[in-house]
Amino acid sequence: TMLNYSEFGTSSGAPALLIAHGLFGSGRNWSVIAKRLADQRRVITVDMRNHGDSPRADTQTYQDMADDLAEVIRYLGAPMDVCGHSMGGKASMMLALKHSDLVRRLIVADIAPVPYDHSQQEFIDAMRTVDLSSLTRRSDAQDQLAAAGVEPALQSFFTQSLDVVTKSWKLNLDVLEAAMPDIVGWPEDITGSFDGPAFFLSGATSHYVLPDYRPTIKRLFPKAYFAKIPKAGHWLHAENPRAFEAAVRTFLNSD
Residue pLDDT, tens place only, 97-124: 999 999 999 999 999 999 999 889 999 9
Number of neighbouring beta carbons within 10 Å of residue 180: 16
d(CA 221, CA 82): 14
**pLDDT values of the chain reduced to their tens digit, one per residue, 255 residues:** 899 999 999 877 789 999 999 999 999 999 999 999 999 999 999 999 999 999 999 999 999 999 999 999 999 999 999 999 999 999 999 999 999 999 999 999 999 999 999 889 999 999 999 999 999 999 999 999 999 999 888 898 899 999 999 999 999 999 999 999 999 999 988 989 999 999 999 999 999 999 999 999 999 999 999 999 999 999 999 899 999 999 999 999 997
pLDDT digits (tens, 9 = 90+) for 214-223: 999 999 999 9
Is residue 170 within 8 A of residue 202, CB to CB? The reply is: no
Catalytic residue annotation: 86, 174, 234
The β-bridge partners of 226 are 200
CA 74 to chain centre: 19
What count of residues does the chain have? 255
